[in-house]
Structure 1
Amino acid sequence: MTTTSTGPWQFWIDRGGTFTDIVAKRPDGQLIIHKLLSENPERYQDAGVQGIREILDIPVDRPIPSDAIEAIKMGTTVATNALLERKGDRTVLVITKGFQDALRIGYQNRPNIFAREIVLPEMLYERVIEIEERYSAQGEELIPINLAETRQSLQAAYDDGIRSCAIVLMHGYRYPTHEQEIATIASEIGFTQISVSHQVTPLMKLVSRGDTTVVDAYLSPILRRYVDQVEQQLQLGGLTNEGLENNLQATQPEGLQGKTSGLLMFMQSNGGLADAQQFQGKDSILSGPAGGIVGAVQTSRIAGFDKIITFDMGTFPVVHIASHGEFSSEAEKTFILTWDSKINVNE
């Protein structure tokens, strides 16, 4: 694809499981749409970087000029697919003694209350280490932590090849001292991913806090490898974060310069953007679908519509959102509104 415009470009990329879609904004404001396979190892290592090269007409053996790009914003289903296919990193759960089954038991939600065979979802962690420790809800240390025993258990998990650790203790969200001590030991042993509940999601309720922390430990290594791969290719191509920051700062109003991070940003599940180095597993599960919803809302707003339904058909299930309707635990009471009636969820 030949281009003639000079100056910084902007790239918006949706990296799906099958295809990668790119919208590029030329320096003159014209938009270019490009599509390629997400996986094509015979031709390229990463579809996003390859798409940028093809749009800018830059061969693989030539570096990407450091002043060619102003911003790259990407949504990806890398973590989503890893979660659905159970291809995350091997993870050990470290939890207060007596609660090793808490996450498996969960809240005992039963979608089909009369089902006689309950099939529980596969847990993301493969091993549980129970730690004899306890803080009261008021912050009193009831049981001091046994650091020597903790180190021995973590070392055994590490020796078995586990490199990802999720630490979730009772009342740890409010009194994190024991979690911090365990994290220090895990770091000294050599765990490469340590997700600590009071940092990942400092909220009460052990099960939800634990689930989020485990997901973060399970997916963050996969995500980090992908982000590092993209950054490495951009840097090897001559496009360094320093050069990108300079491009961004040059386009900012006076007074805001120097307050931006790198140009490579990723869509989070909440619809916001995060710097590549701050992108975490817990925030990435709906990275791809969230971008679609944000784009649909903005597009509809520009077109003058304030009531919309969006559909996102990807490799995995359809995601939809309605702006007007009713949601209930009873299917008969769950519906979306149309201009003259309503559509029940069963329809």
Structure 2
Amino acid sequence: MIRVGVDVGGTFTDIILERSDAGGEQSVVVTKVSSTPHDQSEGVVQGILNVCEMAGVEPGAIDAVFHGTTVATNLVIERGGARVGMITTRGFRDIMHMGRHKRPHNFSLQFDVPWQSKPLVKRRDRLVVTERILPPDGRIEVPLAEDEVKQAAELFAKRGMDAVIIGFLFSFLNDEHEQRAKEIVSSVLPDTYVCCSSEVVNSIREYERFSSTAMNAYIGPKTSAYLRKLEGRLRAAGVGGIIRIMQSNGGITTVEKSSELPIGLLMSGPAGGVIGGRWTGDNCGKSNIITIDIGGTSADIGVIQDGDLRIKNPRDTEVGLLPVLVPMIDIDAIGAGGGSIAYLDPGGAFRVGPRSAGAVPGPACYGKGGTEPTVTDAQVVLGRLDPEQFLGGDIKIDAALSETAIRDHIAGPLGLSLDDAALGILKIVNNNMALAINANSMAKGVDPRNFTLMGFGGAGPLHAVSLAEAIHAKDIISPVQPGITAATGLLVTDLQYEYTHPLLMVLDNASDADFKTVNDALDGLMEQAHQQLDADGIPREARRFQRIAECRYVGQGFELRAAMPDGTVDAGNARTIIDSFYDEHKKIYGHAFRDQACELITLRLVATVAVETLALPELAHGGRENPDEARLYSRRTVFDDGQAHDTPRYQREKLLAGDRVSGPAVVIQHNSTTIVPPGYVAQVMRFGDILIGRN
């Protein structure tokens, strides 16, 4: 079997090819190509063809392609999505404008409210119709005025809308009106992207539900067009294997499902990195890990605690400062990477990022027209990146251009030496990243002193030790292939679907009739899951299911996930759900009121199918100290203390298990460079990962 993982970043597209034969022999080939921001599919297909050539296989021999993409996220951040129209319940046109009446910055007199200043659906494109459904049972109080729906659809047709959403009040309890309205709109606008709020987010909270549905439609046309184009390009290139797409919840899904609900792809790219980090941690015997994926444009931070991925609380799931009620791995992203531009602001302050040079023109040293200094240029000036070794020599860089850019824009204006200016760039960007790591760890009850920092992405191992010092992490891991760890994560990710059913029920005093409602709803979710997996051709014995109860205290703002007992839920085992909710509340918030009533809000079923995991061969044992066999040459390198050392370079491919390299040292490979400062020692683990700690 031949499987390929492809992760698209802002600067580079990372590709990994795994080949396994009938005898159990496995081989792995990796590469990177420049991303093509104008059309990501071009870089994806070129990268796949390149890795096939390197591996000596034909594209037609590929059995599966797994893809992590930033297309959906970029559409939201750059506000480049579709023009969306909305049909909603009369009297609730401005829900999308009012939101939750939150001030993004409580004490600012000049703040931006993105859902008002840059709405996904403009007010003139939000039309109302007569209908009303009431809680708690979803009964129809006022029938749907179908003629009004048709008139609204005809008006949207005249306006040339790209997409239309239907969001009615309490449709999560009864979607009859939304589905009928969708039929009418689709008959008038057969080629328009149409979706209902009950299809996208079938849960309580009308603002978040409407906003999430609007985002799904906003990114829907272009995301589905991209996926179709990608599939077409792959087929034209001779790739006939299945195509699977990474989701924000850490699972993979089909192209068809991704086109229908593209909102699930909003954190597709970073999710693969955290999953790849967990897999690497398993290989190294580490279960508590802080991951930081540093690419050319951004740094993505995640936390793995006791081997588990953290799922964001619904109150925190947002993209572009807009709420997104879909499950997401808890990842924070900041504008800090190799392409982050260093500059002096109008007040003369020395800043780095979030503006990035990206893939084009890229850092000054690329020689593609960029003249502003970047983090990569600082690494080059300090001797941490060798021009002839950059990306294995595939990309030629010019150190003189880096020196000129830093001298002209930073060193000269501030009266600094070239080395001090370059060190300043790194100190600022490292401080920005350290603050973001603390926000995703210490601020959420995680003590970094008990965690390993894992730095990956092309630039991760260059910054990892400095960041570990800043947050006081206990040690550092540089994965075996840091530059393609996110792509690796795609090959160790399960096929996954999630289904929800809304309920409003206090568990402490639930009746037998209430528990029957719960069990009937669970049976319905199972049936939906089996239908989807049947369509995917998944055998019954390979299917796994996790049932989740999303609960809160009565009157509380947001719910938490609680574990459910196996089998039928009744008064005898409902306490399992309640106690699990208390435990989770204690873990998240630091306290739990075990004498207060627990309310069930949503039932969630997670259906997964385990894929064949990636297996790396163990390295031969070396056990050597600073092995001469792996040593290339020495070169002047400046470290964080400002001291320059004649620093040896080691070729990572020639290091063996148990080898130890004492700092100062630089470990070079095709897709990344690992820095081992003075006072540290790097030890090679059995699969080739490098564990770095104090000497």
Q: Which range moved further: 109-118 or 119-128?
A: 109-118
Residues 38-53 of structure 1 mapped to structure 2, 5 A cutoff: 38-39=35-36, 46-53=42-49
Instruction: Work out the CA distance in 2 between the residues paired with 1:102 and 1:13.
Output: 39
Q: How many residues align?
A: 307
Q: Is the 8 A contact 2:449 2:471 kept in 1?
A: no
Unaligned runs of 5+ in 1: 1-7, 59-63, 245-262
Q: Is the 8 A contact 2:103 2:113 kept in 1?
A: no
Say if 1:103 and 1:317 are closer, same or farther in 2 by CA, change over 3 A: farther
SS, match of residue 174 in structure 1: coil
Unaligned runs of 5+ in 2: 307-312, 317-438, 452-469, 473-695
Name the residue aligned to 2:158: 159
Q: Which has the higher strand share?
A: 2
Q: Of 423, 430, 448, which residue of structure 2 is paired with 1:338?
A: 448
Instruction: Work out the CA distance in 2 between the residues paired with 1:224 and 1:89.
Output: 12
Say if 1:118 and 1:131 are closer, same or farther in 2 by CA, change over 3 A: farther
Q: Which range moved further: 289-298 or 133-142?
A: 133-142
SS, match of residue 35 in structure 1: strand
Residues 1-347 of structure 1 mapped to structure 2, 5 A cutoff: 8-27=1-20, 28-39=25-36, 46-57=42-53, 66=60, 68-121=61-114, 122-126=118-122, 127-137=125-135, 138-190=137-189, 191-240=191-240, 244=241, 263-279=242-258, 280-314=261-295, 317-323=298-304, 336-339=446-449
Say if 1:34 and 1:117 are closer, same or farther in 2 by CA, change over 3 A: same
Query: Displacement, 1:334?
Result: 5.1
Q: Which range moved further: 107-116 or 291-300?
A: 107-116
Q: Is the 8 A contact 1:14 1:21 kept in 2?
A: yes
Say if 1:53 and 1:41 are closer, same or farther in 2 by CA, change over 3 A: farther
User: Percent of pairs identical after alignment?
Assistant: 28
Query: Displacement, 1:65?
Result: 5.4
Query: Displacement, 1:108?
Result: 2.2
Say if 1:318 and 1:131 are closer, same or farther in 2 by CA, change over 3 A: farther
SS, match of residue 449 in structure 2: coil
Residue by residue, what CA displacement relative to the aligned partner does 1:20-57 show, whole Å, maximum 9, x if unpaired?
11011134522111111221879x96211111212223
Say if 1:171 and 1:41 are closer, same or farther in 2 by CA, change over 3 A: closer
Alignment RMSD: 2.9
Instruction: Work out the CA distance in 2 between the residues paired with 1:76 and 1:281.
Output: 11
Say if 1:282 and 1:65 are closer, same or farther in 2 by CA, change over 3 A: closer
Q: Is the 8 A contact 1:92 1:165 kept in 2?
A: yes
User: Which amino acid in the other structure matches residue 36 of structure 1?
Assistant: V
Query: Displacement, 1:119?
Result: 1.6
Instruction: Work out the CA distance in 2 between the residues paired with 1:41 and 1:183.
Output: 33
Say if 1:143 and 1:40 are closer, same or farther in 2 by CA, change over 3 A: closer
User: Which amino acid in the other structure matches residue 217 of structure 2?
Assistant: A
Indicate the structure whose relative CO is greater, using CA pairs within 8 Å and at least 6 residues apart: 1
Instruction: Work out the CA distance in 2 between the residues paired with 1:56 and 1:94.
Output: 48
User: Which amino acid in the other structure matches residue 160 of structure 2?
Assistant: G
User: Which amino acid in the other structure matches residue 300 of structure 1?
Assistant: G
Name the residue aligned to 1:248: none
Instruction: Work out the CA distance in 2 between the residues paired with 1:150 and 1:340.
Output: 58
Q: Is the 8 A contact 2:161 2:192 kept in 1?
A: no
Q: Is the 8 A contact 2:200 2:212 kept in 1?
A: yes
Query: Displacement, 1:238?
Result: 3.7
TM-score computed with the length of structure 1 as normaliser: 0.80
Instruction: Work out the CA distance in 2 between the residues paired with 1:14 and 1:333.
Output: 29
Instruction: Work out the CA distance in 1 between the residues paired with 2:449 and 2:192.
Output: 54
Query: Displacement, 1:314?
Result: 4.3
Say if 1:57 and 1:322 are closer, same or farther in 2 by CA, change over 3 A: closer
Instruction: Work out the CA distance in 2 between the residues paired with 1:71 and 1:323.
Output: 27
Task: Find the structure with the greater CA-based Rg.
Answer: 2
Query: Displacement, 1:322?
Result: 2.9
Say if 1:317 and 1:188 are closer, same or farther in 2 by CA, change over 3 A: same
SS, match of residue 87 in structure 2: strand
Residue by residue, what CA displacement relative to the aligned partner does 1:96-153 show, whole Å, maximum 9, x if unpaired?
1111111221112334322233421021123211122111113332222221222112
User: Which amino acid in the other structure matches residue 211 of structure 1?
Assistant: S
Instruction: Work out the CA distance in 1 between the residues paired with 2:37 and 2:207.
Output: 40
Residue by residue, what CA displacement relative to the aligned partner does 1:158-185 show, whole Å, maximum 9, x if unpaired?
2211121111100111211110111011
Say if 1:317 and 1:235 are closer, same or farther in 2 by CA, change over 3 A: closer
Query: Displacement, 1:303?
Result: 0.8
Q: Is the 8 A contact 1:135 1:142 kept in 2?
A: yes
Q: Is the 8 A contact 2:130 2:148 kept in 1?
A: no
Q: Is the 8 A contact 2:41 2:226 kept in 1?
A: no
